């Protein structure tokens, strides 16, 4: 009888007896269960021993074959990766290199000045900005300039019709006429006194009247000058009520509020003129960086509008108080803007020289292209051009610091990089269609 069948028969007999018998029978049932478990274990062990050595060897061989197969597959996979790298490396003939305008440069470590890069905003020079408002109330009868116009020092921006100016000019005309009459009387009295025709007191009285008229004319002239009006007679001899609004210095009109027909008041600026030949680059300097910079340090300013260009400036101001909320200090870089390309309110980046120096690799900015969103440079190697992902640092005068991805001695493509990128993209598109 097979062990499994005997085990089953013994279990059934014992179970029936336990249900019909006493406690002794139940104990016997428990012993039978233990015996059944032992028999089961022996049966499993016998099966393991009954297996032939040839079967084990066959299984081992099968396992080894599987391992070898996987190993072969892995080797194939590795070969595929190597093949992919070879595909990415571009092989070009001398004629193709010349046609694409490809040039290379061997990288070498250079001495680099350490810099503190600050995010900044361009502002007008507050020392060279004017809010031009009239000195007297008046109605705007002429708006001579518009937004963005370049103006010279003393140029008329608008003309107002002012009652106060008219009254002041009228008073000046009267004082001028009175002074002329008093002068003529004094000169006549002086001749008559010399000839002893009139008394000395009459001569002195005419002299006093003349001096009084001169003082009145001077006061009327000063009044016009304080109002900003030139004391000159009109062509028809009548009082002039026109008030010219002029700019104090040359610059650019950046705000205009002058509207024809409106009544202007001295407390409201009609124009804002700014001298944009020199601008302020305002930035916030973190408290922890205060010890790294000082006023007077050189700075390089860059803006997104002119990639690859740098504007030289100087750190001219560091605030004396730290903002208690942001823990920053206001800093200012002044930069020349003679051609007016930099505009107020532009975002900018200011790299301030800290004084420390080190060595690093500098790569021309035109040598870097974006491939799949990653900055990439091409290296000439083994007769071809291989793309390499690079990690970049700060920009310095048209070059960029390479933090990782390249090494000294690498021959990097500095011209024709976009031609190489186009070839790789074309190759990848071709592979996609083939699949």
Which segment, 1-10, 211-220, 301-310, is predicted with the most confidence on average? 211-220
Residue 116 CB-density burial (10 A; 0-12 exposed, 13-18 middle, 19+ buried) = buried
State what percent of residues in the chain have pLDDT above 70: 76
pLDDT at 313: 94
Which of the four pLDDT bands, split at 50, 70 and 90, describes residue 227? confident
Which pLDDT score is estimated for 276? 95
Question: Looking at the domain that runs over 92-110+359-434, which CATH code has it been given?
Answer: 2.40.420.20
Domain ranges of the chain: 3-50, 92-110+359-434, 116-125+274-357, 137-271
The answer to whether the CB of 363 falls within 8 A of the CB of 412 is yes
Give the rounded percent of residues in the chain with a pLDDT score beyond 90.
39
- Is residue 384 predicted with pLDDT exceeding 70? yes
pLDDT score of 14 more than 60: no
Alpha carbon distance 66, 110 (integer Å): 55
Q: What is the pLDDT of residues 327-348, one digit of tens each?
A: 999 999 999 999 999 999 999 9
Q: Residue 69: what pLDDT?
A: 36
Q: What is residue 396's predicted lDDT score, i.e. its pLDDT?
A: 67
User: pLDDT tier at 380 (50, 70, 90 boundaries)?
Assistant: confident
The C-alpha angle 327, 403, 381, rounded to 5 degrees, equals 165
38-42, 79-83, 175-179, 216-220, range with the lowest pLDDT: 79-83
CATH superfamily of the 137-271 domain: Helix hairpin bin (1.10.287.470)
In the prediction, which pLDDT does 260 show?
A: 94
Judge whether residue 161 has pLDDT over 80: yes
Provide the 10 A C-beta neighbour count for residue 160: 24
Query: Is the per-residue pLDDT at 172 higher than 70?
Result: yes
Out of 1.10.3720.10, 2.40.30.170, 2.30.130.10, 3.30.540.10, select the CATH number for domain 116-125+274-357.
2.40.30.170
For residue 133, pLDDT beyond 80: yes
Looking at per-residue pLDDT, the higher value among 23 and 188 belongs to 188
Distance separating alpha carbons of residues 117 and 110, to the nearest angstrom: 20
SS3 374: strand
pLDDT at 88: 64
pLDDT of 134: 94
Q: Which of 318, 384, 380 is nearest to 350 (CA)?
A: 318
Q: C-alpha angle 169/175/180, rounded to 5°?
A: 130
pLDDT digits (tens, 9 = 90+) for 290-329: 988 899 999 989 999 998 788 999 999 999 999 999 999 9
**Quick count: other Cβ atoms within 10 Å of Cβ 241?**
20
Complete DSSP assignment for 85-119: HHHHSB---HHHHHHHT-EEEE--EEEEEEEEEEE
Q: Is the dihedral of CA 380, 385, 391, 394 positive or negative?
A: positive
Q: What are phi and psi of 112, to 5 degrees?
A: -120, 130
Asked whether residue 207 carries a pLDDT value surpassing 60, the answer given is yes
CB-CB contact of 280 with 333 (8 Å):
yes
92-110+359-434 and 137-271: identical CATH topology: no
So what's the pLDDT on residue 61?
37
- Identify which has the larger pLDDT, 52 or 233: 233
- pLDDT tens by residue, 260-296: 999 999 999 999 999 999 999 999 999 999 988 899 9
């Amino acid at each position: 009888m097979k062990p499994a069948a005997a085990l089953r028969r013994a279990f059934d007999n014992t179970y029936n007896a336990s249900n019909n018998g006493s406690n002794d029978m139940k104990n016997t049932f428990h012993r039978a269960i233990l015996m059944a478990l032992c028999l089961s274990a022996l049966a499993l062990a016998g099966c393991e021993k009954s297996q032939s050595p040839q079967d084990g060897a066959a299984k081992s061989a099968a396992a080894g074959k599987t391992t070898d197969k996987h190993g072969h597959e892995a080797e194939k996979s590795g070969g595929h990766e190597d093949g992919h790298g070879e595909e990415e490396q571009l092989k070009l003939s001398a004629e193709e290199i010349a046609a694409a305008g490809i040039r290379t440069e061997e990288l070498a470590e250079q001495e680099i000045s350490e810099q503190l890069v600050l995010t900044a905003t361009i502002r007008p020079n507050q020392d060279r900005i004017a809010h031009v408002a009239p000195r007297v109330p008046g109605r705007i009868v002429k708006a001579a300039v518009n937004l963005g116009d370049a103006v010279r020092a003393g140029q008329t921006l608008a003309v107002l019709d002012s009652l106060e100016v008219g009254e002041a000019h009228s008073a000046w005309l009267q004082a001028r006429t009175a002074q002329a009459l008093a002068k003529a009387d004094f000169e006549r009295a002086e001749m008559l006194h010399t000839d002893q025709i009139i008394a000395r007191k009459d001569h002195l009285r005419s002299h006093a009247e003349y001096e009084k008229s001169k003082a009145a004319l001077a006061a009327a002239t000063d009044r016009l000058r304080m109002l900003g009006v030139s004391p000159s007679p009109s062509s028809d001899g009548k009082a002039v009520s026109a008030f010219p609004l002029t700019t104090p210095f040359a610059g650019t009109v950046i705000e205009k509020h002058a509207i024809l027909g409106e009544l202007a008041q001295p407390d409201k600026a009609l124009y804002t003129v700014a001298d944009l030949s020199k601008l302020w680059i305002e930035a916030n300097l973190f408290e922890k960086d205060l010890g790294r910079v000082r006023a007077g340090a050189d700075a390089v300013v860059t803006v997104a509008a002119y990639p690859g260009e740098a504007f030289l400036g100087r750190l001219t101001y560091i605030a004396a108080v730290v903002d208690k909320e942001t823990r920053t200090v206001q800093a200012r870089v002044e930069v020349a803007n003679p051609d007016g390309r930099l505009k107020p309110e532009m975002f900018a980046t200011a790299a301030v020289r800290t004084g420390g120096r080190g060595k690093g690799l500098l790569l021309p900015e035109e040598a870097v292209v974006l491939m799949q969103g990653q900055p990439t440079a091409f290296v000439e190697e083994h007769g071809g051009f291989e793309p390499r992902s690079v990690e970049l640092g700060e920009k310095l005068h048209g070059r960029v610091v390479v933090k990782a991805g390249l090494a000294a001695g690498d021959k990097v493509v500095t011209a024709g990089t976009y031609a190489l990128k186009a070839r790789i993209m074309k190759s990848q598109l071709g592979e996609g269609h083939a699949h």
